[in-house]
Amino acid sequence: MKKIFLIIISILFFNNSAHSFMKYGEYKELMKSDKTSALYYVRGITMGNLSFSSYMNIDKPNNEQLYCPPNDLRLTIKHAIEVIDQEASRIIKETDEDVNEVHVPLMYIWGMQDRYPCEN
């Protein structure tokens, strides 16, 4: 089972084909042209992160987590969009990086880390 999980992760992270991470500029265009697909994409990001967190809690309970939201927080698509958009605003204000070239899943993780840092 662990080998299958590692294979899936390596395909997702290292494959530069059509399954690459969406950049923020592409995401914003998709929100305008096909909001339903964009919402499913965001749902995939949140579900992937929840799956990873569950895996880490079960298989490696002492390892550091990426972020630590309160247990009673409901991670909805609306919440994820707010996190991504807030991170986009932070990138625009605090860096020289072109926000449209930043990968959306990374923006979600960075935004969650900013909102819900872990106490280590």
How do residues 6-29 score in pLDDT, each as one tens digit? 455 554 544 444 457 899 999 999
51 vs 115: CA distance, rounded Å: 19
Q: Taking residues 69-81, what's their average pLDDT?
A: 90
Per the document, the length of the chain is 120
pLDDT at 98 > cutoff 80: yes
Confidence of residue 33 (pLDDT cuts 50, 70, 90): very high
pTM for this prediction: 0.76
Residue with tokens 């299958």: 4
Distances from the Cα of 71 to the Cα of 42, 75, 91, 114, angstroms:
21, 10, 28, 17
22 contacts 41 by C-beta, under 8 angstroms = yes
**What burial class does residue 17 get, using C-beta atoms within 10 Å of its C-beta: 0-12 exposed, 13-18 middle, 19+ buried?**
exposed
For residue 81, count other CB atoms closer than 10 A to its CB. 17
The overall average pLDDT reported for the chain is: 82
Q: If pLDDT is split at 50, 70 and 90, which confidence band does 1 have?
A: very low
65, two tokens = 């987590």
Predicted local distance difference test score (pLDDT) of residue 14: 46
Name the amino acid, one letter, at 42. Answer: V
